[in-house]
């Protein structure tokens, strides 16, 4: 693991523990049943019953285990050992068909935990690509673990609006990161998106910005066939101050704002 990944792992280890205690994820209500998946991915992924599903960057596993409740046999992968422990604890507490393994997604190809395994569905969602430096490696991992006839699904924040200021600018669209950049960006963040304070030792983290074509072309190069690419005017979190939520789970732009895409989804088959 390089220095950037190590810093990100420290940060996510702390966030996993903090998030597990926050109201943001509605964990208490979810324990009693139901799904943490949002309507877009629930509809676009479709029926998962009887399928083997691999969830990449699963955090502490609520979405992963929601798929288990829908009849899939699930494996969640994350490089935060705290998140993985919490995921395994949830699966055991709730008696759900799920296991969680601690791995760097970019190194997953050689994982001893997944030796010989192949999956019908590989899923990843919301806040994932910005943590990955190398989408060529990532897409090869996906292709390697997919069964022929299986599919990969991603929903994440949109590369176009990812580069707009969402920290200091509260009223206008203001691009601050070049759309085309290979650089790694350091952030020192005091508060998580859940509103919880992060301790000083875990504040530094490193992110990468990927273009839409980079995402799509890497999947194609790894041997996948794109079935759809969709763009959505909603986000899974309050990415910009000028957004509102009607249901407390998805966020849309205030009416006076120029409509720009906030998230995208791709389904790609092997
Ligand atoms: C924003 S969270 C994803 C949240 C997820 N959609 C959910 O709602 O639970 C990003 C996750 O990516 C994980 N992560 C970041 N870089 C990773 C890497 N290189 N390998 C594996 N997991 C990674 C973090 O530990 C974190 O759990």
pLDDT per residue as tens digits for the range 5-21: 999 999 999 999 999 99
**How is residue 210 annotated by DSSP?**
-
pTM: 0.97
- What is the per-residue pLDDT for 96? 96
Q: How far apart are CA 205 and CA 10, in angstroms?
A: 9
242 alpha carbon – ligand 1 mean position (Å) = 26
CATH code of residue 131: 3.40.50.150
| CA gap 228, 5 in Å, rounded | 31
59's tokens: 């955090």
Decide if pLDDT at 202 tops 80: no
Atom of ligand 1 nearest to the CA of 83: 27
Beta pairing, strands 184-188 & 225-232: unpaired
Q: Are strands 204-208 and 119-125 parallel, antiparallel or unpaired?
A: unpaired
- Span 71-124, pLDDT tens digits: 999 999 999 999 999 999 999 999 999 999 999 999 999 899 999 999 999 999
Question: Is the distance from the beta carbon of residue 59 to the nearest atom of ligand 1 less than 6 Å?
Answer: yes
> Does the C-beta of 209 come closer than 6 Å to ligand 1?
no
Q: Which residue has the tokens 């704002």?
A: 257
- Counting from 1 in the atom list of ligand 1, the atom nearest the Cα of 126 is 6
pLDDT of residue 216: 98
How many Å lie between the centroid of ligand 1 and the Cα of residue 91? 18
> Which of 128, 132, 162, 237 for a ligand 1 pocket mutation test, highest count of atoms within 8 Å of Cβ?
128
Strand, helix or coil at 3?
helix
pLDDT, one tens digit per residue, over 164-192 is 999 899 999 999 999 999 999 999 989 99
Question: DSSP code of 120?
Answer: E
Domain range spanning residue 234? 3-269
> How many domains, the chain?
1
């Amino acid at each position: 693991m390089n220095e950037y990944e190590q810093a990100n792992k420290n940060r996510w280890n702390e966030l996993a523990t903090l998030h597990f205690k926050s109201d943001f994820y509605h964990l208490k209500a979810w324990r009693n049943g139901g799904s943490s998946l949002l309507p877009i991915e629930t509809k676009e992924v479709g029926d998962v019953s009887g399928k083997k599903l691999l969830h990449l960057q699963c955090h502490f596993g609520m979405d992963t285990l929601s798929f288990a409740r829908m009849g899939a046999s699930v494996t969640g992968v994350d490089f935060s050992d705290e998140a993985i422990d919490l995921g395994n604890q949830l699966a055991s507490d709730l008696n759900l068909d799920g296991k969680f393994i601690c791995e760097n997604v970019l190194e997953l190809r050689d994982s001893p935990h997944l030796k010989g395994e192949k999956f019908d569905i590989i899923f990843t969602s919301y806040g994932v690509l910005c943590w990955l430096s190398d989408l060529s490696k990532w897409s090869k991992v996906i292709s390697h673990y997919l069964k022929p006839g299986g599919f990969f699904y991603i929903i994440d924040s949109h590369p176009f609006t990812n580069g707009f200021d969402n920290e200091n600018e509260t009223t206008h669209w203001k691009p601050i990161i070049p759309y085309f950049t290979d650089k790694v960006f350091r952030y020192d963040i005091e508060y998580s998106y859940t509103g919880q304070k992060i301790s000083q030792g875990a504040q530094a983290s490193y992110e990468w910005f990927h273009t839409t074509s980079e995402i799509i072309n890497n999947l194609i190069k790894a041997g996948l066939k794109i079935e759809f690419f969709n763009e959505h005017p909603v986000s899974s979190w309050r990415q910009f101050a000028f957004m509102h939520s009607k249901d407390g789970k998805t966020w849309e732009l205030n009416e006076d704002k120029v409509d720009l895409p906030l998230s995208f989804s791709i389904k790609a088959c092997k």
